[in-house]
Structure 1
Amino acid sequence: MKQQATCESVNRGGRGETGTMRGSAAYDMTSGAIARARGFVRDFLTEAGSSKGWSVSERAADVAQLVVSELATNVCKYAPGPCLLDLESDGAVLSITMWDSGPVLPAASPSDPTRIGRHGLELVLMVCQSFEIHREPVGKRVTVRLSLHDSTDHSPSGHTAW
């Protein structure tokens, strides 16, 4: 299965409201899928800037690609089969949702300075404003939210929810 991707702009009315932008892609998680997922996020944010006029910081674009890369890597390692990637933004926050068929919910590993690898979820938790996991009839859905603007203290996730 090749990447299938769609993007749409949704205006919900209201004066001065720029609406939301949504994008979806499906991946078979074979060779190159993680890079394609990162590229989809980059293209989505570039399109948001050009079509909506939204200002997306370089840091936010880099962090969004890192998060998708880590989530997609977990799918490759622990969930058989395809996955879906949904993106949605209102210009201030980017919501990233990764759906997969794996039944095991991800959990950050306990702190261990000698551990090699398995730091992906820890990184995601450090840079996102919120993190949610939901069981689905088949698999799970992981949703993270990231600020698209740099905070005054230059923290990677803007203002954290926790």
Structure 2
Amino acid sequence: MDTVQLVVSEMVTNARKYAPGPCLLTLEVIEGAVEVSVWDSGTTLPAVGARDPGRIGQHGLEIVMAVCRAFSVRREPVGKRITAAIELADDPGGDPAGRQPT
């Protein structure tokens, strides 16, 4: 669950920091993954910055995209919705839920 907490923290922090109004967080378990969805009233879509190892901060979106199996951004009639899916693990060894060992 540490990964889910990280993704929620990054996504909600960005919504509160960059959107002018309220935000809404939704968590659902779908097909072996936790789907984190954040709606906010901002109209500016997030963008990953150019690679810059010397850059301090503003790596949240890169981190979220690196740990998720799926990531999407879509405009809504008001604002936007950002959704990330984080694979669940069946056991402490990290085998993803719903997958059979080969």
| Aligned residue number for residue 65 of structure 2 | 125
- Alpha-carbon shift at residue 91 of structure 1 (Å): 6.8
| Aligned residue number for residue 95 of structure 2 | 151
Q: Mapping of 1:92-131 within 5 angstroms?
A: 92-131=32-71
- Alpha-carbon shift at residue 77 of structure 1 (Å): 1.5
CA distance in 2, matches of 1:95, 1:131: 9
Larger Rg: 1
CA distance in 1, matches of 2:77, 2:52: 34
CA distance in 1, matches of 2:43, 2:31: 33
AA aligned to 2:37 is T
- Alpha-carbon shift at residue 137 of structure 1 (Å): 1.1
TM-score by length of 1: 0.54
| Aligned residue number for residue 65 of structure 1 | 5
Q: Aligned to 2:16, what secondary structure does the other structure show?
A: helix
Q: Aligned to 2:74, what secondary structure does the other structure show?
A: strand
- The structure carrying a bigger helix percent of its residues is 1
Give percent identity, aligned residues only.
53
Match of 1:89 among 15, 26, 29: 29
AA aligned to 1:104 is T
Structure 1: runs of 5+ lacking an equivalent = 1-60, 153-158
Instruction: Answer yes or no: is the 8 Å Cα contact 1:91–1:148 preserved in 2.
Output: no
Q: Aligned to 1:106, what secondary structure does the other structure show?
A: coil
TM-score by length of 2: 0.85
Instruction: Answer yes or no: is the 8 Å Cα contact 2:16–2:23 preserved in 1.
Output: no
| Aligned residue number for residue 40 of structure 1 | none
Counterpart check, 1:140 vs 2:77:
no
The size of the alignment, in residue pairs, is 93
